[in-house]
Structure 1
Amino acid sequence: MNTPESRPPATPVNDAGLDVSRIRAITLDLDDTLWPIWPTITRAEGALQAWLDQHAPATAALGRDRNTLRDARNQMVTMRPDLALDMSGLRRESIRWLLQRAGDDPALAEPAFEVFFAERHRVELFDDALPALEFLASRFPVVALSNGNADVHRVGIGAHFHASLNAGNFGVGKPDPRIFHAAAQAAGVETSQVLHIGDDAHLDGVGALNAGMQLAWVNREDQVWDHAPLAPHITVSELRALCRALG
């Protein structure tokens, strides 16, 4: 991981210029745009480990070995290519594989996953996320567009969304233009009338731009944009600045 001292300086981003008059709908990434994902996953894995300690101690012992966890994930990717985009399915079946390897009851995979999944939805929103959601939803239909498995209703923010698409349910994920086109259709507008908001320069940025959307790149960590000649229409370090730009 790059530290602030070792991280390369961000290269200047030549924003293409946001055309607010074109915007009729918003598509919005979730993980690392509305909340930081890795603290959430760490807490969820801790809750899962505690549950396994109580209900499947042999599996819990295996789960403390990071190499074993990585092997479980790799095993599932190889054995179940149909789950490649299904983060919930991959997690559930990885737990099942660990249970089987440890000699525990594989049926415990279902309740074990639910412990993980419940905690995965106990996110801590960025300070600017809820005010921005309220602002955006009061002006446009907002469609959640994610490669992850967060459910906006379980998170508690579903009232702000017109619809929600994710890669696991749709069958392809970002940056494939098809999921962006489907999100525009869910909002009832043309793709060119959508502003996509997201943090990942490749998945969100390249995907949205190639699909024909305008892009608001949320660059909270002073990352480098290295996808020239493509460029975001606006780059912001937090969502309040975007809301101000939208008026």
Structure 2
Amino acid sequence: MPDDVAGVLLDVDDTLVDTRGAFAASVEAVWRAYLPHVPAERVPEMVALWRGDPRGYYRAYTRGELAFDEQRRLRADELHRTFGGPPVDEASYPAWLEVFWGTFERSWRAHDDARATVDALREAGLRVGAVTNAGRALQDRKLAASGLDDVPVLVTVDTFGVGKPDPRVFLEGARLLGTEPGRTVYVGDELDVDAIGAVRAGLVGVWLDRPGTRRGDGHLEDPTAAAEAGVVVVVPSLTRLAETMAQVVVR
């Protein structure tokens, strides 16, 4: 970690906001409405499939290859087919979405360490902003519902039509934050998309590796690979991030 960091860019989902928990509630609602034949003990498998997204539909969306609703419908259909449910086609998708997305929005919560960390970073004299692979309107609502509406969303998938790890996303975040890339830390929970992507763009990449929250399903989640790619800081919580940043002298 350089000793002249001036700003911190934060991912939103599963970094500031407990999106994993919200998805778990949403998948459980879908299970009750559409897949009640599946034993309750298999619901965690359903959540893992949704988060793991083994066919990469969400990442195809962030590359500009799929529309947001289309990637979500395809993931819903995959979930149903995997667990023996009815297909989710264009006709049935709106009703499915009402069950899933209604629960999802009601379940948005900040991680327990998010508010204190944002405050601590600012008290240390660091500029703070968010960069995300979701749409601006969605993330603005999510942060507001989570009590983090004072964190400005600087760059979204809407900005360039693609998301991280495209270097433009990170560089634009630093530009809008008003800090040089080499003096800007980027923190996110996905090693390849967030931390390694930031390093390759010339920022300081930090991997937030919360215990028990890895996605699996082919996602790069290897600390050795992180180090080899130049990710010199891996933290288990935002609290640890704040402690690390407290040792940085802002020049």
Answer yes or no: is 1:131 the counterpart of 2:112: no
Q: CA deviation at 1:87?
A: 4.3
Equivalent residue for 1:119, pick from 87, 103, 106: 103
Q: Tell me the SS of whatever aligns to 2:224.
A: coil
Q: Which runs of 5+ in 1 are unaligned?
A: 1-16, 54-59
2:183 corresponding residue in structure 1: 193
Q: Deviations over 1:119-151 (max 9, x none)?
A: 324234332122112223454442222234662
Partner AA of 2:161 in structure 1: G
Verify: 1:212 aligned to 2:202, yes or no.
yes
Instruction: Kindly report which structure 2 residues correspond to 1:64-213, keeping only aligned pairs within 5 A, or say none.
Output: 84=65, 86-92=67-73, 106=90, 109-110=93-94, 112-121=96-105, 122-138=107-123, 139-148=125-134, 151-154=139-142, 155-167=145-157, 170-213=160-203
C-alpha distance in structure 2 between counterparts of 1:244 and 1:167, whole Å: 30
Comparing 187-196 and 151-160, the one that deviates more: 151-160
Whole-Å separation in 1 of the counterparts to 2:195 and 2:87: 45
Query: What corresponds to 2:8 in structure 1?
Result: 26
Change (3 A) 1:137 1:48: farther
Number of equivalent positions: 213
Aligned partners of 2:226 and 2:232 also within 8 Å: no
Distance in 1 separating the partners of 2:150 and 2:37: 37
Residues 152, 158 of structure 1: CA spacing in aligned structure 2 closer, same or farther, 3 A cutoff? farther
Q: Distance in 2 between matches of 1:75 and 1:232?
A: 26
Does residue 234 in structure 1 map to residue 241 in structure 2?
A: no
Aligned-CA RMSD value: 4.0
Aligned-residue offset at 1:109:
3.6
Q: CA deviation at 1:43?
A: 1.3
| 1:19-68 residue CA offsets vs partner (Å, 9 max, x unmatched) | 2x232x22111233234543321211233455xx4xxxxxx36997x7xx
Task: Give the secondary structure class of the aligned counterpart of 1:225.
Answer: helix
Closer, same or farther: CA 193–86 of 1 in aligned 2, 3 Å? farther
Partner Cα separation in structure 1 for residue 239 and residue 203 of structure 2: 21
Any conservation in 1 of the 2:174–2:184 contact (CA below 8 Å)? yes
Q: Give the percent of matched residue pairs that are identical in Structure 1 and Structure 2.
A: 24
Structure 2 vs 1, CA of residues 244 and 75 (structure 1 numbering), >3 Å: closer, same or farther?
Answer: closer
Gaps of 5+ in 2: 39-45, 81-85, 213-221, 247-251
Residues 232 and 85 of structure 1: is their aligned pair in 2 closer, same or farther, counting only changes over 3 Å?
A: farther
Residue 41 of structure 1 aligns with which residue?
Answer: 23
Q: Distance in 2 between matches of 1:105 and 1:246?
A: 48
Deviation at 1:167, TM superposition (A): 2.9
Q: Deviations over 1:58-110 (max 9, x none)?
A: xx36997x7xx99xx99996xx9786465444215766999xxx799956644
Paired with 1:168 and 1:48, the residues of 2 have a C-alpha distance of 28
Residues 159 and 75 of structure 1: CA distance in aligned 2, closer, same or farther (over 3 Å): closer
- Quick one: which amino acid aligns to residue 199 of structure 1? D
- Between stretches 144-153 and 171-180, larger displacement belongs to 144-153
Aligned pairs for 1:51-62 within 5 A: 53=33, 60=34
The structure that has the greater radius of gyration is 1
